[in-house]
Structure 1
Amino acid sequence: PGPAPQPEPEPTPEPNPAPMPDPEPTPVPTVSIGGYGHGTDEGESIVATGTWSIIFAEGGDDIVLGQDGFDFLDGGKGNDMLFGRGGSDFLLGGEGDDTLDGGEGRDFLFGDAGDDLMIGGGGSDMFLYNGGNDTISDFAVGTDVLVLNPDLLHSSGIATTAVSDMFTITNGNAVLNLGDGNSITLAGLTDTTGLDVYSFFC
């Protein structure tokens, strides 16, 4: 008999293609503004210069750094991060989920629309709440003041004088639920006795 047929050789597997590298992130432009100025509709990093600043960041996800004097910083649209740093500052988040950090000094922080994080920093600060699910990370009873939109209070049936009694302690935080997706959380606060709460027009 003839020799037994040899098996066909196994085909050589194709090598796996090398993974494509991740695309390089697009750098965020940095803009310096002294005094009064505007950003653009794109995300950018804005640095205030000089002894005071009034800055409107406009659209995009912006990072805005104030300076040691007075700053008025308006994030506009987008998810912004505003840093007042030193001095007495007014930070306005605008639309989007924003982070506002007043830094040192007596600051006014207004998250406005969206779910915002507000950090007063040092000094006696005022936090203005206008809806959304906002968190204040360092509210100090007897030092800081909370100011609420009266329309939210009226729609939830809560009188301004009774707001401090309507907070519930949840997971070590004081939470005020105003319904319709609106709430404010005072992180780490477990006793609201003496809490100063006002409406916008009191």
Structure 2
Amino acid sequence: MTTASTPKGERRRQALVEAAAELLVEGGFEAVRHRAVAERAGLPLASTTYYFESLDELVGAALEFHGRSELARGRAVLAELTEAPRGVDRLVELVLDQLLGPAGDNDAEAVLLRYERLVATGRRPYLRPLMLDLGAELRQLLLDTCARAGAELDAKRLEQLIALVDGAVVNALIEVDPHPRAAARRMLRELLGQSR
């Protein structure tokens, strides 16, 4: 990578990272291409190869930016909880927001793209260390969220919770009219209701 040692260079590099992150979230890894990133960032095509040695490096930077942004959002939500959430339903929604992202109008498509990204990183070994780091931070955030709500979980129980959500989501995504958040919500209510 060419260093972006000037403020203008840093801004351009960051604009490319953010554009690539948007494309990654909207269309998966295949959407992140030099031309598409440059166009989204409003920069010349050559800037993608000036600031990044390869497309893989740009994808890694985009994935890290997106992952860290999601973690920051989750930490902000946790920090705003001045008192423990009341009831299992509120805790379930907090956990789902951490694992699936905030609920939105096109929830099933957003969740599908999220899981496609997770699975696709398995074919990109250069992303594994980053995904392990982000995953460890997410797990700590989930433990903190559950503790704040009075549902103390150990590492084993947390892995069960994540596996439960992942399984419910994947099964729901194959339905004709998928509602992955609703499927995961049903499973989590039972699991978290027992933890309190």
Decide: shared fold, TM above 0.5.
no
Q: TM-score, normalised by structure 1?
A: 0.28
Decide which structure has greater helix share.
2
Q: TM-score, normalised by structure 2?
A: 0.29
Tell me: higher relative CO, structure 1 or 2? Use CA pairs within 8 A at least 6 residues apart: 2
Decide which structure has greater strand share.
1
